């Protein structure tokens, strides 16, 4: 059986690829943060309404 090493991800090779990678990562981070804030606000409003 042939054994071969797993392929390693070395990251972006050009500055344009690095910029695109960082923009994608930042967009994902801000979307997740916004989603969590909206969820928490809805949850807190729901809890307040339920307790009144």
Q: Where are the domains of the chain?
A: 27-52
> What is the pLDDT, as a whole number, of residue 1?
54
> What is the pLDDT, as a whole number, of residue 3?
67
Q: Which two tokens stand for residue 23?
A: 């923009």
pTM: 0.67
> What is the pLDDT, as a whole number, of residue 48?
95
> What is the pLDDT, as a whole number, of residue 23?
95
User: Is 23:12 a contact under the CB 8 Å cutoff?
Assistant: no
Per-residue pLDDT of the chain (52 residues; tens, 9 = 90+): 556 777 787 777 889 988 999 999 999 999 999 999 999 999 999 999 999 8
Taking CA 28 as the corner, what is the angle to CA 23 and CA 31, rounded to the nearest 5 degrees? 120
- The alpha-helical segments, DSSP class H, found in the chain are 15-51
Residue 29's Cα: distance from chain center in Å? 4
Give the C-alpha separation, 1 to 17, whole Å. Answer: 37
> What is the pLDDT, as a whole number, of residue 2?
59
């Amino acid at each position: 059986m042939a054994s071969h090493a797993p392929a390693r991800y070395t990251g972006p090779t050009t500055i344009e690829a690095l910029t695109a990678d960082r923009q994608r990562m930042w967009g994902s981070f801000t979307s997740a943060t916004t989603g969590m804030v909206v969820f928490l606000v809805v949850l807190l409003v729901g809890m307040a309404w339920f307790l009144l």
